[in-house]
């Protein structure tokens, strides 16, 4: 994002904050990037906060705003809309905090361990799902749906071709294109046999469910449309990295059918007959997204979900049977499972990576090319500057003369002790939560002496203390 656009967005969001609270925000901080192209900010002052959203897609904004108003009218737990300025593609929402259902699992889980409290939280979520699908769905205005009013055959074929072009082709899985297209037609026609006169949330998964004082709240439903009940349950239970044990999935499926039966008449056998078809199409849609973001856009953290999705396909192949002939599509599933390329892709290094960079403020703070947001920027310009002395002009923070100069000063030692304390806290927390990446940057006037020295000293400190990956980059020094 260019600087002018960033300033414009922040000015617009600040204006909305002031409009709602009659107070100005003190900080406007970007939040970590998500799987969409929307940009999120947290705006705060001493005792008030809000989430600001910028999205260039005007139709998506209109869908989200109108769906939110409808859900609030139905007393559903979604964020309140504080203010909107859709002419500038921004709106302001209630701040629901940082705890998603996925982060709750990650922070409280030890390996593949599954606790009863996780199942209990999922049951709370499932209790609410029919309220979206049936209560809110019966009189929602589907004209706001975008890009389609229903999860119809066109929508299904879009998802299946997304899987074909961005996952199968990019992961080097071979197939007969015409035969696969024929199978897509047969598969979509089969799914269309299921009753689809309900609201389909579309992306009902653990990262779009917030936990606020133990209660589930729901976000990111702007892709909602009319569709089958099975799809959202498939999205929730076969959410790749949530990695729910299959016996728990079975329990939660039965629980959902029980809850659903209090709203409508349900034939459990018929529901389950179509359920696994929707599980397959949801997994294929997700693999398309992982391929697009990971293989095509080179955002490697999306690739980490692929092994979990493959595990789900393995279970489905071995334990379910769809009542239709789709031989080419089934061959693709089997090739995915057996692919040495994908198995290699799945062999990710689970260590936390700390990327440490030095830079010159003249050239600006380095961007986060991993898309995680956050991290630290430490300003070294208050430290003694060896660059002002003629004997150090051609040297850098790597050279022994510069190192000796800086190590003479107590304020440099105090600065670094504070840096160590702050960064160590994040490293220890991120390791517990299985986070993959943290960016730490040091800036000074020229990016040659103080910032380089501090970056190298932090790298040495972390290497000696933690079993992590460390990548050091000096933007102004070779």
Tens-digit pLDDT profile for residues 375-395: 899 999 999 999 999 999 999
For 226, list phi and psi in degrees, rounded to 5: -75, 140
Quote the pLDDT of residue 372.
Answer: 61
Task: Evaluate if residue 1 carries a pLDDT over 70.
Answer: no
In this prediction, residue 370 has a pLDDT band, given cuts at 50, 70 and 90, of low
Please choose, from the candidates 13, 8, 47, 5, the residue with its C-alpha nearest in 3D space to the C-alpha of residue 29.
13
Report residue 394 as tokens. 């051609």
Report pLDDT for 367. Answer: 78
Six-digit token pair at 75? 């007393």
CA gyration radius, the chain: 25
374, 32 in Cβ contact below 8 A?
Answer: yes
**pTM as predicted:** 0.76
Tell me what pLDDT residue 235 has. 98
Residue 437 is predicted with a pLDDT of: 85
User: Which long-range contacts does 411-415 make (Cβ < 8 Å, 24+ apart)?
Assistant: 411/382, 411/383, 411/384, 412/383, 412/384, 415/380, 415/382, 415/383, 415/454
Domain ranges of the chain: 3-93, 101-346, 353-474
Q: pLDDT class for 349, splitting at 50, 70, 90?
A: low
Between residues 352 and 14, which one has the greater pLDDT? Answer: 14
Fold of 101-346: Aminoglycoside 3'-phosphotransferase; Chain: A, domain 2 (3.90.1200)
- For residues 47-68, give the mean pLDDT: 97
Which 8-state DSSP code applies to residue 277?
Answer: H
Q: Which fold has domain 3-93?
A: Phosphorylase Kinase; domain 1 (3.30.200)
Specify whether the CB–CB gap between 55 and 89 falls below 8 A.
yes
How would DSSP label each residue in 369-425? Answer: TTS----EEEE-TTS--GGGSGGGTT--TTSHHHHHHHHT-HHHHHHHHHHHHHHHH
pLDDT at 350: 61
Name 439's bridge partners: 355
What three-state secondary structure class fits 433?
coil
In the predicted model, what is the mean pLDDT of residues 7-15? 96
Residues 183-198 have a mean pLDDT of 98
Quick: pLDDT tens for 204-254: 999 999 999 999 999 999 999 999 999 999 999 999 989 999 999 999 999
- CB-CB contact of 446 with 362 (8 Å): yes
| Element of type H or E holding 28 | strand 27-30
């Amino acid at each position: 994002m260019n600087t002018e656009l960033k300033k414009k967005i922040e000015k617009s969001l600040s204006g909305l904050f002031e409009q709602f609270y009659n107070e100005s925000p003190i900080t406007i901080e970007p939040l970590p990037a998500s799987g969409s192209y929307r940009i999120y900010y947290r705006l705060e002052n001493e005792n008030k906060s809000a989430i600001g959203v910028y999205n260039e897609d005007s139709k998506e904004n209109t869908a989200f705003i109108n769906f939110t108003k409808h859900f609030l009218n139905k007393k559903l737990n979604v964020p309140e809309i504080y203010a909107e300025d859709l002419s500038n593609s921004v709106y302001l929402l209630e701040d629901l905090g940082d705890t998603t259902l996925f982060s709750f699992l990650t922070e409280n889980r030890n390996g593949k361990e599954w606790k009863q409290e996780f199942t209990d939280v999922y049951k709370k979520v499932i209790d609410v799902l029919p309220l979206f699908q049936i209560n809110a769905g019966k009189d929602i205005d589907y004209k706001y749906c975008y890009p389609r009013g229903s999860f119809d055959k066109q929508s299904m074929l879009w998802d299946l071709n997304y899987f074909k072009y961005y996952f199968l082709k990019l992961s080097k899985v071979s197939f007969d294109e015409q035969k696969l297209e024929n199978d897509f037609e047969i598969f979509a026609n089969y799914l269309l046999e299921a009753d689809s006169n309900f609201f389909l949330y579309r992306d009902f998964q653990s990262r779009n469910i917030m936990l606020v004082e133990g209660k589930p709240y729901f976000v990111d439903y702007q892709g909602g449309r009319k569709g089958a009940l099975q799809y959202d349950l498939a999205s929730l239970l076969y959410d790749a990295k949530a990695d729910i044990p299959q016996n728990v999935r079975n329990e939660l499926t039965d629980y959902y059918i029980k809850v659903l039966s209090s709203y409508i008449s349900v034939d459990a056998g018929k529901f389950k007959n179509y359920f696994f078809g929707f599980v397959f199409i949801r997994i294929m849609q997700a693999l398309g997204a992982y391929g697009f973001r990971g293989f095509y856009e080179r955002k490697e953290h999306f690739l980490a979900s692929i092994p979990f999705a493959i595990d789900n396909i393995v279970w489905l192949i071995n334990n379910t049977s769809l009542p239709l002939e789709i031989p080419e599509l089934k061959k693709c599933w089997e090739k995915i499972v057996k692919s040495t390329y994908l198995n290699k892709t799945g062999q990710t290094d689970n260590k936390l990576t700390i990327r440490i960079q030095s830079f010159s403020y003249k050239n600006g703070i380095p961007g986060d090319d991993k898309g995680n947001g956050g991290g630290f920027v430490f300003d070294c310009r208050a430290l003694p500057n060896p660059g002002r002395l003629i004997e150090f002009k051609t040297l850098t923070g790597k050279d022994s003369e510069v190192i000796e100069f800086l190590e003479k000063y107590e304020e440099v030692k105090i600065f670094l002790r504070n840096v160590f304390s702050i960064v160590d806290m994040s490293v220890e927390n991120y390791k517990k939560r299985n986070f993959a990446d943290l960016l730490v940057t040091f800036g000074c006037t020229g990016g040659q002496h103080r910032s380089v020295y501090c970056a190298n000293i932090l790298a040495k400190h972390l290497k000696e203390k933690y079993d992590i990956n460390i990548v050091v980059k000096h933007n102004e020094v070779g």
